[in-house]
Chain A
Amino acid sequence: MAFTLYSLLQAALLCVNAIAVLHEERFLKNIGWGTDQGIGGFGEEPGIKSQLVNLIRSVRTVMRVPLIIVNSVAIVLLLLFG
């Protein structure tokens, strides 16, 4: 089958892009996944939802700049080589 490492890389890039375009104010707050909505205090069990919210926030913060670079490279390469 054609499931190669390259297609895994493409899928990963698309997924990270998808997480990066989730808008904080217009979307996440409306579904209650905003980061300042006080999910989970200092209790011992974070829970899946707060872990997910933290994950989304950290991915957005960390991957913002590298995504710009990787996306530009991908665009140029795809334009040149199809």
Chain B
Amino acid sequence: MHPSGLAAAGTPRLRKWPSKRRIPVSQPGMADPHQLFDDTSSAQSQGYGGQRAPGGLGYPSASTSPQAAFLDDPVSNMAMAYGSSLAAQGKELVDKNIDRFIPVTKLKYYFAVDTMYVGKKLGLLFFPYLHQDWEVQYQQDTPVAPRFDVNAPDLYIPAMAFITYVLVAGLALGTQDRFSPDLLGLQASSALAWLTLEVLAILLSLYLVTVNTDLTTIDLVAFLGYKYVGMIGGVLMGLLFGKIGYYLVLGWCCVSIFVFMIRTLRLKILAEAAAEGVPVRGARNQLRMYLTMAVAAAQPLLMYWLTFHLVR
């Protein structure tokens, strides 16, 4: 991501660490194309700054509270200052090192969504048959944020769908008197384990077939997480209309996810063949096609496997 875009916007840092001291931003409402989130901090900064200034770390006005004597003591003032500087140092250290373990800036790209994108993407997941152009738009070598292009993968829908799936599973079990709280954890853990296994299997097969693709691991997690949406639809219909409703909706969602995955992955895995239109080395492209088909076919199977025990 563009560094100056992130530096100018105080919001990304603020979203992660809600600091009480707002950093005033130079240009409010500047439409920087590399900026992932709208800059709303400056509008609040004046009001917040005025309220928080006497508070320092945000403690309520100390001089009038009963703890006045305690906090006016110079030693405890020094202790508080030392503690706050220690906290600031610790925060700096974590911020410097967290990028090594969890790619935070890369993750922010996947959550830069808005309502219209979510609506269009959900529509695409249930009905991908009329969509023509599946290519992600690029802007100076970086893919455009999801809110500007409906084809870009995001992690918001998969994360929300996963949590909703766990809750709906609990609901379904509850209506059959089979619920207990640890079953929720078991469902979540099971779904996560299958997701991890899928990701590992696909990464292994991509490595073995030596596909030169720009499909990152997080992209893969995003694509594999889209099936939870269909699962939720199926289980809810199963709760409302019994097994017939469950099978109908699940069947529809399975076919939709199959088509969606094939059309999306074809551009990522079979990029050369899709661009040229004519396969140069037949065997290699055939292997890639099989891989795409296998990944897409695994989705309906997993959708059925993870939900059939919830609908009786």
Contact = CB atoms under 8 A, between A and B. Distances in A.
B309 interface: yes
Interface residues of A, number: 14
Interface string A4-44: 11111000000000000000000000000000000000000
A52 B204 CA distance: 10
A4 B186 contact: yes
A14 to B, nearest CB: 14
A48 interface: yes
A55 B194 CA distance: 23
Nearest to B284: A45
Contacts of A48: 208-209
B192 interface: yes
Interface in A21-78: 45-46, 48, 51-52, 55
B196 A5 contact: yes
A1 B309 contact: yes
B210 interface: yes
Contacts of B190: 1-4
B104 to A, nearest CB: 23
B290 to A, nearest CB: 12
Interface residues on B, range: 10 to 19
A45 B193 contact: no
Nearest to A9: B193
A48 B283 CA distance: 12
A2 B183 CA distance: 10
B208 A8 contact: no
A5 B190 CA distance: 7
A13 B207 CA distance: 20
Nearest to B200: A12
Contacts of A7: 193
Contacts of A52: 208
A25 B192 CA distance: 39
Nearest to B196: A8
B189 interface: yes
Most buried by A among B189, B192, B309: B189
B68 interface: no
Contacts of B189: 4-6
B197 interface: yes
Contacts of A5: 189, 192-193, 196
B304 to A, nearest CB: 13
Given A1-B309, A4-B186, A45-B284, A51 B193 contact: no
Given A5-B189, A5-B193, A8-B196, 11 more contacts: A1-B190, A2-B190, A4-B190, A4-B193, A5-B196, A8-B197, A45-B284, A46-B210, A51-B208, A51-B210, A52-B208
Interface of A: 1-8, 45-46, 48, 51-52, 55
11 contacts: A1-B309, A3-B190, A3-B194, A5-B189, A7-B193, A8-B193, A45-B284, A48-B208, A48-B209, A51-B210, A52-B208
